[in-house]
Amino acid sequence: MKVHQTQARKLGSQALYFSHGPIVRKVVSAKAPAGSRRVQVIRAQAVSAPVEAKVANGVSAAATAAPASYDYAGDISKTVLGIILGGGAGTRLYPLTKKRAKPAVPLGANYRLIDIPVSNCLNSNVTKIYCLTQFNSASLNRHLSQAYNSSVGGYNTRGFVEVLAASQSSANKSWFQGTADAVRQYMWLFEEAVREGVEDFLILSGDHLYRMDYRDFVRKHRESGAAITIAALPCAEKEASAFGLMKIDDAGRVVEFAEKPKGEALQRMKVDTSILGVDPATAQSKPFIASMGIYVMSAKALRELLLNRMPGANDFGNEVIPGAKDAGYKVQAYAFKGYWEDIGTVEAFYNANLALADPSKAQFSFYDKDAPIYTMSRFLPPSKVLDADVSMSIIGDGCVIKAGSKIHNSIIGIRSLVGSDCIIDSAMMMGADYYETLEECEYVPGCLPMGVGDGSVVRKAIIDKNARIGPKCQIINKDGVKEANREEQGFVIKDGIVVVIKDSCIPAGTII
């Protein structure tokens, strides 16, 4: 649910006014010095949520070093370009990515995945943002243009949030072959930004859940004189093989890098992670330093690496970063102390969403007045709950929950309709894209309305947008199946979680 209040934050030489829901941005002063990397005194602002301030990754708030008094970034809105990598076909999140790009997948009832990195950028005064994608980008483009573009730029600024979809040209007739190749194919556009004063590229992922102030990240990168700085955090052995792993020296310089190692190669990457500032117990349980897939890269160094030294490299983690280290470029690690979750799989996505509604598990909160998460303003009415039992759940805007229904440990997305006497338990409903009239409903076989019909039970499931579930259905994975593809019937089972596909119809009385 959105926090409707106005916040004013002074960032560099500008004051930004955000009204959560729509973003209203007024440039109060645009007289920042033009010289890049000029030392300016700024007031550091905390951006961690209260729950993160206690313990995150084994680091107490007291262990977190206070930000420095000097900002070597100058005006970060002019010297840093944000590049969000939208991912490929999103096969790990399929079927949620069947009709949309991965960053456009709904999150936390009111939001989309792309809102996380974009909001982190805006809260850090990074106002030039591109999102690179090549699959099903229509809904993502629509969301970004309606949520941000009319308010990020100003009379004396050139702020923007834009989608760059893969396209063929006379010079390059292939689609994106990987993260590095995607950046290389649009280097001609990024070089225009460099000519206008951009010195570093902030390269982000579109499927992570975290809150981060990139200003400190950029400042540490520039102070160290690194060509590439990688955001890193400690991780346990059971999950380490899914990430790029690093070994670093006492100064934080990366001396060894391995992308998703397994077996003996994995064991060789074990280190004492107390070097990142974690407590001894956490260092023992998490003996690996994992890359978060978040980088700051010098524009000059990246251009040289992608166009001259490694013109055939397609991936940052597998090729560019190890190649840069081996070529003598300084590759630095930046220790991140907050909560971070990769939600690129159906299981991780499901667990991260449900954790938002459970106070005992929640490590991320949308309720942070100093660093809110923005999204598109939809001007929906408040949700209506008619004599229903709702516990430990999040209800999005514009929902109707009818009498006798019980909702527990669930996320109910915007415009959701839950009929009478339903049970929604440990489930995520993504809601609907629009309200449906009776005339529109008549075009659907049986005039089955969007939402969950009377008397239905939904347990451990994800119900994608505009899905129609008839009365007396049971979406409960009755046989405990781990994997099943029933797209012709309107659903898929992944990791034991039933996913009802967008726009699907589940007939009355169906048992899954």
Average pLDDT in the chain: 83
8 A C-beta contact, residue 72 and residue 37: yes
Enclosing H/E stretch for 210: strand 208-210
The predicted structure's pLDDT at residue 200: 96
The predicted structure's pLDDT at residue 170: 57
The predicted structure's pLDDT at residue 274: 87
Q: What is the pTM of this model?
A: 0.82
Q: What is the Cα–Cα distance from 135 to 103, expressed in whole angstroms? A: 11
The count of other CB atoms within 10 Å of the CB of residue 183 is 24
What the chain holds in terms of domains, given with CATH numbers, is 76-356 (3.90.550.10), 384-506 (2.160.10.10)
Q: What is the arithmetic mean of pLDDT over 308-328?
A: 90
For residue 406, pLDDT over 50 is answered with yes
Q: Indicate the pLDDT class of residue 275, thresholds 50, 70 and 90.
A: confident
Least confident of 13-17, 171-175, 257-261, 352-356: 13-17
Q: What is the Cα–Cα distance from 314 to 185, expressed in whole angstroms? A: 11
Q: Indicate the pLDDT class of residue 9, thresholds 50, 70 and 90.
A: very low
Least confident of 28-32, 393-397, 475-479: 28-32
Q: Indicate the pLDDT class of residue 8, thresholds 50, 70 and 90.
A: very low
The predicted structure's pLDDT at residue 156: 58
How many residues belong to the chain? 512
Residue whose token pair is 């470029």: 329
Least confident of 48-52, 91-95, 316-320, 496-500: 48-52
Enclosing H/E stretch for 27: none
Burial of 497 (C-beta count, 10 Å sphere; 0-12/13-18/19+)? buried
Q: In what order do the strands lie in the sheet with 497-500?
A: 394-395, 411-412, 428-429, 461-463, 497-500, 491-494, 484-486
The shares of helix, strand and coil residues in the chain, as percent rounded to the nearest 5, are: 25, 25, 50
The count of other CB atoms within 10 Å of the CB of residue 390 is 18
SS3 255: strand
For residue 228, pLDDT over 90 is answered with yes
The predicted structure's pLDDT at residue 496: 94
Enclosing H/E stretch for 325: helix 321-326
Report residue 381 as tokens.
Answer: 């009415």
Q: Indicate the pLDDT class of residue 142, thresholds 50, 70 and 90.
A: confident
Q: Indicate the pLDDT class of residue 51, thresholds 50, 70 and 90.
A: very low
Q: Tell me how far CA of residue 173 lies from CA of 60, 88, 238, 425, in angstroms.
A: 50, 17, 40, 48
For residue 39, pLDDT over 70 is answered with no
8 A C-beta contact, residue 341 and residue 364: yes
Report residue 64 as tokens.
Answer: 């977190």
The predicted structure's pLDDT at residue 173: 60
The predicted structure's pLDDT at residue 32: 41
Residue percentage of the chain with pLDDT more than 70: 82
pLDDT top residue among 74 and 228:
228
For residue 358, pLDDT over 80 is answered with yes
For residue 31, pLDDT over 80 is answered with no
State pLDDT tens for residues 157-193: 678 888 887 765 656 666 677 888 889 988 999 999 9
What is the pairing mode between strands 160-165 and 288-298?
A: unpaired
The predicted structure's pLDDT at residue 318: 85
For residue 194, pLDDT over 80 is answered with yes
The predicted structure's pLDDT at residue 295: 95
The predicted structure's pLDDT at residue 2: 40
Q: What is the Cα–Cα distance from 293 to 342, expressed in whole angstroms? A: 10
Least confident of 273-277, 368-372, 470-474: 273-277
Q: Indicate the DSSP class of residue 117.
A: H
Q: What is the Cα–Cα distance from 97 to 496, expressed in whole angstroms? A: 18
For residue 434, pLDDT over 60 is answered with yes
Highest mean pLDDT of the ranges 24-38, 155-169, 270-284, 406-420 = 406-420
Taking the alpha carbons of 226, 319, 180, 96 in that order, is the dihedral positive or negative? negative
Burial of 162 (C-beta count, 10 Å sphere; 0-12/13-18/19+)? middle
Q: What is the arithmetic mean of pLDDT over 285-311?
A: 93
Q: Indicate the pLDDT class of residue 25, thresholds 50, 70 and 90.
A: very low
Q: What is the Cα–Cα distance from 144 to 161, expressed in whole angstroms? A: 7
For residue 198, pLDDT over 60 is answered with yes
